[in-house]
Chain A
């Protein structure tokens, strides 16, 4: 089983590269063949990824959330899966390239550095932790997708303002649609992050005796959550729209990245497991 897993680990990034390749081809050529086949390939890539994750869980007797490279492969799956659902729901096919490329990066890094982790800390075997990590990852996937749509919004906004009617103008949906997609992704991300935080608060006292609510990772996550909360409330209650909202989303995403980098690699925390 382990050797099958190793082969899958090699093949999986190739699947993602092929998928992003056909999305890239379609972005530049817009043929009906590539437009239809890219979705089929993405579906098979996701199917293969599910198989890989299940195989990994069975082989090592724990869900693949116990080290940073396992987290990366789950994140790669979550981002592409969320995009796949969005594409099916909205039939907007021109933005996939910019989102699946994130999965390609995460999966490639994961496949290169991932180790066979048979022994894991006892604290990482909790079911609550599984739910906590899964909802956090899906939440981060949501805000990542929100930021990508926000970024595409800003590019298209600038192109239209400057009378540049190139490929982005051709392939992207309307500004309003991009704003909507960014908003919906942010809402989903925010809800799932909220779930992750609630589960974390429940699980924390059970798992650690020396925990602190002033832990850098908790503060970072709280800040990201707060920023998105303010942004979403401003849109829903304050009638914010357009550029202001998507800039908020992008700042939130950048803060989330900065917070993750600082708390995972620089700060000492009880919350660092790897």
Chain B
């Protein structure tokens, strides 16, 4: 199989390079057009924040990895990217790599939830631009299957592995139904924004945002259907919230123990979660001693993240087994592509002989016996070819030894002169 792939990713390149080579949808579409014109009959391009990868079936056998890399390198000549930054894969290793990518075990964050969707999107772009041919479709179907199996049959994607998500996971261990809870997210930096979006995704009942720059909070609030309160008044509203996540860059505490004590009293000691994911901290850590208050800072959330990462790493061997199963299944199918025409040629060859000989002798038989003759001769041919057909299929489907399959096909063709016969016919 002549699938060829190059990848620049977090294993081989720093974030600046990965960012530089990241391709948006339009850039991918342009690159597809160029690759179709010059190198590949079919292929696929995956580009995420941690990887940019090109897969393809070359039009000509002389296509090299450098030819493909050149397309990416030339896009960002100012970065002077050399070939060592690229991982290179061919045939089975290319398929294997794609399966590892789709199942999340090659991701920077092992078990990454987004990569399967990103792979599907990439395939859709190829499909939309006639870049996904018969073979690539099958490769990517198998990759998606491997990714789905990894997700459902193992715990590779279980548990939070980012601090923002760990905060939400911890909140879910305290409250049964987030739909009935209200949350306040303070600080609209990247962490605060992600936390707010996670809460919205989890169906939080009422979401409120606060930020020193009101406009920033208002903009996000509009995007995720949240309310906004003025930053200066957060302590006055504290008792209204079951969950408070703070992620500002304030140098001092913005929520003090007395504020929390007053709020919890107003709340009749109903459970309140305070997630302080800011550095330096925003909420007085002494609040953890108040009854009904669950205070957690970035260190405690990091414990959850570390535990989940370790658990995901422990799942990698299980995912590798799934990948191996899917590789075997895929190459069984692929090898059978090669064997099917060979079997057909063999059967045609015998059928031609049978038909020719029957034709010569057919007039010697009565009308009734002519039908019997047809049936009888066909049965003989079938019996003769049954064992070789089964053996060839078995060898091909085992996917273990391609050479063995090729040798067997070669011997058969040579012994019976099948190709010669075809050529003679032409």
Residue ranges of A at the interface with B (Cβ–Cβ < 8 Å): 156, 160-161, 163, 165, 169, 172-177, 180, 239, 241-244
Contacts and interface: CB of A to CB of B under 8 A. Distances in A.
Contact of A174 (B173, B288, B299, B307): B173
A169 B303 CA distance: 13
B176 A177 contact: yes
B176 A174 contact: yes
B271 A156 contact: no
Contact of B270 (A156, A163, A241): A241
A205 to B, nearest CB: 45
B175 interface: yes
Contacts of A173: 176
Contacts of B300: 163
B18 interface: no
A174 B176 CA distance: 6
A241 B292 CA distance: 10
With most chain B CB atoms within 10 A of its CB, the pick from A163, A239, A241, A243 is A163
Interface residues of B, number: 21
B174 interface: yes
B177 interface: yes
A164 to B, nearest CB: 9
Contacts of B172: 174
B175 A176 contact: yes
B176 A169 contact: no
Interface in B271-324: 271, 288, 291-292, 294, 296, 299-300, 303-304, 307
Contact of B303 (A165, A174, A176): A165
B291 A160 contact: no
Interface of chain A: mostly helix, strand, loop or mixed: helix
Contacts of A239: 268
A175 B174 contact: yes
B174 A160 contact: yes
B28 interface: no
A243 B291 contact: yes
Contacts of A176: 174-177, 271
With most chain A CB atoms within 10 A of its CB, the pick from B269, B288, B303, B304 is B269
A173 B170 CA distance: 11
Contacts of B288: 161
A239 B288 CA distance: 23
Contacts, number: 45
Contacts of A242: 269-271, 292
Interface in B154-187: 170, 172-177
A151 B268 CA distance: 22
With most chain A CB atoms within 10 A of its CB, the pick from B175, B176, B269 is B176
Contact of B307 (A165, A172, A175): A165
Nearest to B270: A241
A156 to B, nearest CB: 7
A172 B270 CA distance: 20
Nearest to A244: B269
Contacts of A241: 268-271
Contact of B173 (A163, A175, A180): A175
A243 B292 CA distance: 8
Contacts of A163: 296, 299-300, 303
Contacts of A161: 288, 294
Contact of A180 (B176, B292, B296): B176
A29 B288 CA distance: 32
Contacts of A169: 173
16 contacts: A156-B173, A160-B173, A160-B174, A161-B288, A163-B296, A163-B300, A165-B303, A165-B307, A172-B173, A176-B177, A176-B271, A177-B176, A239-B268, A241-B271, A242-B292, A243-B292
Nearest to A174: B176
Contacts of B294: 160-161
Contacts of B175: 174-176
A89 B40 CA distance: 57
Given A160-B173, A163-B299, A176-B176, 18 more contacts: A156-B173, A163-B300, A163-B303, A165-B303, A169-B173, A174-B173, A174-B174, A174-B176, A175-B173, A175-B174, A175-B271, A176-B174, A176-B175, A176-B271, A177-B176, A243-B291, A243-B292, A244-B269
Contacts of A174: 172-176
Nearest to B300: A163
B155 to A, nearest CB: 8
Contact of A160 (B170, B268, B307): B170
A160 B295 CA distance: 9
A173 B176 CA distance: 8
Nearest to A180: B176
Contacts of B173: 156, 160, 169, 172, 174-175
Interface in B165-215: 170, 172-177
Contacts of B170: 160
